[in-house]
Amino acid sequence: MEELKMTPWDVSGELNDSAYTKLVEKFGVDLINEKLIERIGKIAKGKIHPFLKRSIFFAHRELNLVLDDYEKGRPFYLYTGRGPSGKMHIGHLLPFSFTLWLQKTFDVHLLIQLTDDEKFMVKDISKTAIEKYTNENIIDILSLGFDPKKTHIIKDYESAKMMYYYATDVAKHVTFSTVKAVFGVTDSDNIGKVFFPSMQIVPAFLLSALTGQKMRCLIPYAIDQDPYFRVARDVLPKLGYYKPSAIISKFLPALQGSSAKMSSSKEESAIFLDDSREVVRKKLMKYAFSGGKDTAEEQRKYGANPDMDFSFLEYSFLEEDQKKVDQVYNDYKSGKILSGEMKEIAANKISSFLETLSDNREKVKDRIDDYILDPKKIKL
Ligand code: TRP
């Protein structure tokens, strides 16, 4: 079996349970246990986000300290981001909908960084293409319904003056040998990769720096991004800020199977945000990895494994009514629902979600400027 390699710029190998267990040990993160989920559930008035329930967000760093601050009425903020190297598919967007849930639950400020500079330096892609994706991605993200007063977008190129000022504080405290060890940078890599991590670390203290109020920062991210924030936790105390806390996800299951990532480069490997009802349905019918049995007869007799079924999982991420999800889970597992029916249920749910997004997109598309981070407009 191919050995798992994971840096922010390169993920290869099979991502199964044991691979995640190894990463948890190697990176030194903590697992999210029942007690922690309960604690969050109390704050969220009993509503547990499906990503916590299904262990998509499965690990953390010092999440307790953020919750302590929240309970004591001290402000904290959220920070997440996106590398704009292509169109967004549903697997890219769902983590943002989890972040939105966190923002609503805690009623806090959120920074969203678009690392256009990173994608230019690490990928073979033109600046024109990146700029186009950056603007499209921002609209896609905002169409989820973020609070304009508390959501601040950073486009690295555009915010470069402000970002660079603070990035040098970070850079001064990170050695070349750390970058080599943590990011797997080698002698033949371009030097952009050596400096860029400073840019992704800045938002982890930027709101504190700009407002003069020292706050904790909670960063939701997929585990491949952990190198940045391991370094951040080392550097920020040296600059007088808190170590950032983290809530860390696995990669979402791909259309064609649970151990591959959804990919923007293959049209049939993911559901894109502009896929029509017909296309969504076809993709699920044709490609979606099923936890069901090969024949209807066997399925009726033995039932399915919903936990590895793409259609069930997507449905469970999007259906707000937890009772309905439990019902579908049990019916699918017991053989009452067949694979084709499960795909039908999921296709409807996904398409309704995409239609809502596309309505919202029309409303936000001319208002992007309202969301771009402006230090003068931050009201804590
Ligand atoms: N580097 C990330 C990517 O390529 C984008 C990113 C920037 C990010 N800041 C972040 C992701 C903070 C998670 C959290 O996708």
Residue boundaries of the structural domains of the chain: 5-254, 263-363
Do 125 and 119 touch, CB atoms closer than 8 A? yes
Name the closest-CA residue to atom 6, ligand 1.
81
Residues 6+ apart with CB under 8 A from 369: none
Residue type, 234: D
Give the residue whose CA is nearest to atom 10 of ligand 1: 81
Is 291 close to ligand 1, i.e. is its CB under 6 Å away? Answer: no
User: Please, is 130 exposed, middle or buried when counting C-beta atoms within 10 Å of its C-beta (0-12, 13-18, 19+)?
Assistant: buried
Query: What residue ranges of the chain have pLDDT lower than 50?
Result: none
Q: Considering only CA atoms, which residue is closest to atom 8 of ligand 1?
A: 81
Task: Determine the residue of 115, 170, 193, 217 to mutate for testing ligand 1's pocket, defined as the one with the most ligand atoms within 8 A of the Cβ atom.
Answer: 115
Give residue 13's pLDDT. 81
DSSP helix/strand/coil, 195: helix
Q: Residue holding tokens 């991004």?
A: 225
Closest CA to 269 of 9, 89, 133, 124: 89
| Phi, psi for residue 376 in degrees, rounded to 5 | -70, -20
| Cα 278 to ligand 1 centroid, rounded to whole Å | 32
The residue contributing the CA closest to ligand 1 atom 4 is 83
End-to-end CA distance of the chain: give it in Å, rounded: 50
Select from 82, 152, 155 the residue to mutate for testing ligand 1; criterion: most ligand atoms less than 8 Å from CB. Answer: 82
**Whether residue 219 has its Cβ less than 6 Å from ligand 1:** yes
User: Could you tell me if the CB of 225 is within 6 A of ligand 1?
Assistant: yes
For tokens 């329930």, name the residue. 53
Q: Give pLDDT, residue 4.
A: 82
pLDDT score for 26: 94
CA of 255 to the centre of ligand 1 (A): 23
Fold of 5-254: Rossmann fold (3.40.50)
Pocket test for ligand 1, best of 7, 61, 92, 113 (most atoms within 8 A of CB): 113
For ligand 1, atom 14, which residue shows the shortest CA distance? 80
H or E element, residue 60: strand 57-61
What is the atom index within ligand 1 of the atom nearest the CA of 203? 9
Atom index in ligand 1 nearest the CA of residue 222 equals: 13
pLDDT at 253: 86
Q: Which CATH architecture has domain 263-363?
A: Orthogonal Bundle (1.10)
Q: With a 6 A CB cut-off, is 200 part of the ligand 1 pocket?
A: yes
3-state helix, strand, coil split of the chain in percent (to 5) is 55, 15, 30
Q: What is the pTM of this model?
A: 0.96
Ligand 1 centre to CA of 201 (Å) is: 10
Q: Is the CB of 154 under 6 A from ligand 1?
A: no
pLDDT at 256: 86
Q: Which region holds residue 212: left if phi is over 0, alpha if psi is between -120 and 50, else beta?
A: left
Q: Is the CB of 118 under 6 A from ligand 1?
A: yes
